[in-house]
Amino acid sequence: MSALVRRGFCHVFGDNIPLDEGVMAFKFAIQRVNDPKELIPHLFEAIDPEFVRRVKPGDFVVAGRDFACGKTHVQGFIAMTALKMAVLCESISYKPLRRAAGEGLPVLAGCRGATEFAHTGDEIEVDFDTGAARNLTRGTRTEFPAMPPILRDLAVNGGMRGALANWLREHPEQAEAPVASQA
């Protein structure tokens, strides 16, 4: 099992960032847009129009309380996953936490003081298996709660889609017939 350690630059947001009109415009949810190429240009657009110009693959979102609140639409998670991003937040509800892992996005919750530990532009390294975090820019370190193993495994294995692909490899009797027998 590979370790889940991520290193990247931070984008810090406050409390109560909603999924709809916060992480991603609601219109992409009702249009069921799931293509990350279409979604990425609109990530955090409503609260930080410059975000998309700043963000680089592997960056972190650092947020306060109740990150990704509101209706649990996944389009924002799809875009962040495609950018290989990760999230630290003080708190997040159960459903979006679960849904993020299902999309393959690592989210470390319960990170009290995260928005003081890291400022926008800081480079950090986080071990999701232990919760150990280092701020490479400021030379500080802290311990957050570790990521629950079930969520960690999902995130590492490509979310639910990855898990179901693995299941199918282990249960080939459920697979499509090798030659389609269309009548």
Contacts to other proteins by CB under 8 A: 26, 30, 71-72, 74, 93-95, 98-99, 102, 148, 150, 160-161, 163-165, 167-168, 173-177
- Answer whether 124's CB lies under 8 Å from 10's CB: yes
Cα 80 from chain centre: 6
Q: Report the b/e string of 144-153 with b at 16+ CB within 10 A.
A: bebbeeebbe
CB-based contact 8:124 (threshold 8 Å): yes
Is 57 or 180 the residue whose CB approaches other proteins more closely?
A: 180
Q: In terms of CB distance, is 56 or 95 closer to other proteins? A: 95
Closest distance of CB 103 from other proteins, Å: 10
Closest to other proteins by CB, 111 vs 124, is: 111
**CB 161 → other proteins: shortest distance, Å?**
7
Closest contact distance (angstroms) between CB of 173 and other proteins is 7
Q: DSSP for 38-87?
A: HHGGGTTTTT-TTHHHH--TT-EEEE-TTBTBSS---HHHHHHHHTT-EE
Provide the 10 A C-beta neighbour count for residue 1. Answer: 9
Of the two residues 40 and 160, which places its CB atom closer to other proteins in the complex?
Answer: 160
CB of 56 to other proteins, least distance (A): 29
Amino acid identity for residue 107 in this structure:
V
Closer residue to other proteins, CB minimum distance, 74 or 124:
74
How far is 87 from 63, CA to CA, in rounded Å?
8
Closest approach of Cβ 163 to other proteins, in Å?
A: 7
